[in-house]
Amino acid sequence: MMLWIALAWGHGGEDHGPPQAPLSALHEGDSLSTWSTEYEAVVRLPYADPGQPIHGRALVADWRTSAPVESGSVAITWDGPAKVEVPALSPKQAGVFEFSATFPTHGDYVGGLTVIADRADVLGLPAFHYALPVGPTLASDGWGTGWIVGGVVGGLGLGVLLGVLLGFGTGRWSRKLAPVVLGGLGLGISVDRLQAHGGEDHGAPAAPAPVGAAPGMLSMALESQFLLGVRTDVVREAEFQDSVRILGQSVVRPGGGAEIAAPVGGTLELAPNLRPGMTVRAGQVLGTLREGLSGAERSGMVAAETGARVELARARKALELAERDAARAETLGSALSERERLDRERSVEVARAAVHQAEIAAEGSGSTLTLRAPVSGTLASLDARTGQVVAASDPLFTIVSGGVLWVEAHVPEAYAGKIPMGAEATLRPVGGGDALTAIVLDPGMKADPESGMLHLTLELAQETPGIVPGMTLTGTVPAGENRRTSLISDDAVVESNGEYLVFVKEGPESFEARSVRLGPESGGVREVLSGLNLNERVVTEGTYALRSVAGR
């Protein structure tokens, strides 16, 4: 009877009933993750006593890109012992929807999240058990003293009863009573502590699973992903063509400019207001050159003038032959490559410039020569100044005509016959800049016998003010046949210790650093040979942050 009273007093009179197995117990806060083919979401739920409002947040992102949803609305509902509804919310900031909700009672709840943005979708929320918080300990409960007294009295009663039974008839029961009483006292305190906790056996707190417990796995909160700009794209199947990487240099196309040198020695005088960057026309006077002749030079002037006239006749003959050759090339049509046809046009331009220079030399009286622009274009440089004494063949002016530039490059001879004429290549300046489109004019019709490299000529598809002759460009040129294969963005690829890695997004807040085998890159995409499946999401922006987390 004393034992029963002690136990009842130590328990406090409550009837907890059999323990419930929680689905996903919500004690001090929890997160519910969900996703569909349209969106992914994480709902953060801090704990509050039944009837008290919970202040939580829903984080919503586009499933394919992981970009936060910036507009629209989100509504949440839960069904369980009571219906809990969160009306339509607008984002407080990109992807973040803050809300208040009240769970009137504990129990099992299951819900759904409705997103209405550029697309509408309903995402199911996983079931969870809205559980009691962790119960009070002995030291924190005001009834602990009463339970201790009850435990002590019950323990003493149990000790006396056992002592009498064990010691009766021996005459020495008093010596056995002391250890039994002490044992009963300990039992009473133990029973009191067990019942004062509420009857549950929580055991030692479980250690949280370490981040990245599985090989290559890591976690990042959705809030951090928004902050760091993490973006994803899916592995897709599409047409792909092999390519070859090139390193080339921009050059002036044939007929696209001229360099003017001093025909004879003398003193230069520039035309008024002549300055680099200005536009000049063919035949425009750039300046004059006054010869400084000694007596001996004057005596040979006649011979010089005769030689100039002979040189003029030769230049005119060369121009005639170049024009005839260019006209013949036009009749051959597709028998000649575009490169060969343009070479003939360039020969005509060079011959015309030579005639112009010969005319200047022949028409001079020996005292003053007029210097004219042989082609129209932009005066790129002035290599001498007014009053400067120059020698014959010293550079004076450089003119770059308008129009697009060419790019000269070399590729291995193994690509002979694989690069189609007219193919589009994607190039970028080595120093950084926007992507440029170039058209293949000469796909490597001739190889260098010493290096074994094919000479490749491309033409930029548009005039680009930021690209000047002499700049280095790099990029890829298509080579081979089209085929259908799995592709990912080249921005998703990370090179680490000699292997290719990509970060695969497995869930709203979980990633896997995965080793993959990749084929060539072309047009900003890479062929996937193994390691990825279609429609898996790979990180294309924010890989540096994930790489830091993964320690790769």
Task: Compute the distance between CA of residue 296 and CA of residue 267 in angstroms, rounded to an integer.
Answer: 18
Query: How many CA atoms are closer than 13 Å to the CA of 111, on its beta-carbon side?
Result: 25
Length, in residues, of the chain: 552
pLDDT at residue 77 above 90?
yes
DSSP states along 444-507 = --SB-TTT-EEEEEEEESS--TT--TT-EEEEEEEEEEEEEEEEEEGGG-EEETTEEEEEEEEE
Mean pLDDT lowest for which of 76-80, 145-149, 297-301, 391-395?
A: 145-149
pLDDT at residue 378 in the model: 83
Q: Give whole-number Cα distances, 544 to 51, 268, 468, 505, 512, in Å.
A: 45, 59, 34, 15, 14
Q: pTM above the 0.85 mark?
A: no
DSSP states along 222-242 = HHHHHHHT-EEEE-EEEEEEE
- Look at phi and psi of residue 13 and say left if phi exceeds 0, alpha if psi is from -120 to 50, else beta: left
Maximum Cα–Cα distance across the chain: 160
Spell out the domains of the chain, with CATH numbers in brackets: 2-15+135-196 (no CATH), 25-130 (2.60.40.1930), 231-250+405-550 (2.40.30.170), 254-400 (2.40.50.100)
Query: How many CA atoms are closer than 13 Å to the CA of 316, on its beta-carbon side?
Result: 9
Rounded to 5°, the CA angle 293-294-300 comes to 80
Q: Give whole-number Cα distances, 212 to 31, 208, 224, 467, in Å.
A: 18, 12, 17, 47
Dihedral, CA of residue 26, residue 29, residue 35 and residue 40, to nearest 10 = 170
Determine the average pLDDT of the residues in 152-170.
47
pLDDT at residue 203 above 50?
no
Q: Residue 9: which pLDDT band, with cuts at 50, 70 and 90?
A: very low
Q: Residue 149: which pLDDT band, with cuts at 50, 70 and 90?
A: very low
pLDDT at residue 63 above 80?
yes
CB atoms within 10 A of CB 48: 19
Tell me which of 14 and 217 has the higher pLDDT: 217
Task: Compute the distance between CA of residue 196 and CA of residue 123 in angstroms, rounded to an integer.
Answer: 43
Which helix (DSSP H) or strand (DSSP E) does residue 309 occupy? helix 301-332
Distance of CA 126 to the CA centre of its chain: 32
Q: Residue 11: which pLDDT band, with cuts at 50, 70 and 90?
A: very low
Determine the average pLDDT of the residues in 97-111.
93
Task: Compute the distance between CA of residue 176 and CA of residue 187 in angstroms, rounded to an integer.
Answer: 17
- What token pair was written down for 162? 């056992």
**CB contact set of 231 (below 8 Å; sequence gap of 6+):** 65, 66, 67, 539, 540, 541, 542
What single DSSP character describes residue 271?
A: P
- What token pair was written down for 459? 């033409």
DSSP states along 313-368 = HHHHHHHHHHHHHHHHHHHHGGGS-HHHHHHHHHHHHHHHHHHHHHHHHHH--SSE
CB atoms within 10 A of CB 501: 22
Q: In the beta sheet, which residues pair with residue 113?
A: 76, 123
In our burial notation (b when 16+ CB lie closer than 10 A, e otherwise), range 332-341 reads eeeeebbbeb
Tell me which of 51 and 139 has the higher pLDDT: 51
The pLDDT > 70 percentage for the chain reads 74
Mean pLDDT lowest for which of 185-194, 307-316, 473-482?
A: 185-194
Helices (H), 102-211: 144-167, 173-196
pLDDT at residue 86 in the model: 95
Yes or no: say if 260 and 270 are a contact pair by the CB < 8 Å rule: no
Mean pLDDT lowest for which of 10-24, 375-389, 394-408?
A: 10-24
Find the radius of gyration of the CA atoms of the chain.
44
Q: In the beta sheet, which residues pair with residue 440?
A: 458
State the burial class of residue 281 (Cβ atoms within 10 Å of its Cβ: 0-12, 13-18, 19+).
exposed
**CB contact set of 402 (below 8 Å; sequence gap of 6+):** 376, 377, 378, 463
**CB contact set of 376 (below 8 Å; sequence gap of 6+):** 279, 280, 281, 282, 401, 402
Task: Compute the distance between CA of residue 21 and CA of residue 41 in angstroms, rounded to an integer.
Answer: 26
Q: Residue 66: which pLDDT band, with cuts at 50, 70 and 90?
A: very high
Residue pLDDT, tens place only, 426-455: 888 988 888 888 999 988 888 888 888 999
pLDDT at residue 57 above 60?
yes
The pLDDT > 90 percentage for the chain reads 33
Q: Give whole-number Cα distances, 135 to 159, 195, 199, in Å.
A: 30, 11, 10
Phi first, then psi: give them for residue 331, nearest 5 degrees.
-75, -20
Determine the average pLDDT of the residues in 300-312.
68
Residue among 38, 43, 171, 54 at smallest CA distance from 115: 38
- Residue 175: what residue type? R
Residue pLDDT, tens place only, 14-38: 443 333 333 444 444 578 999 999 9
Q: Is the dihedral of CA 505, 507, 509, 510 positive or negative?
A: negative
Residue among 217, 243, 237 at smallest CA distance from 528: 237
Residue among 321, 328, 343 at smallest CA distance from 446: 343
Task: Compute the distance between CA of residue 494 and CA of residue 527 in angstroms, rounded to an integer.
Answer: 14
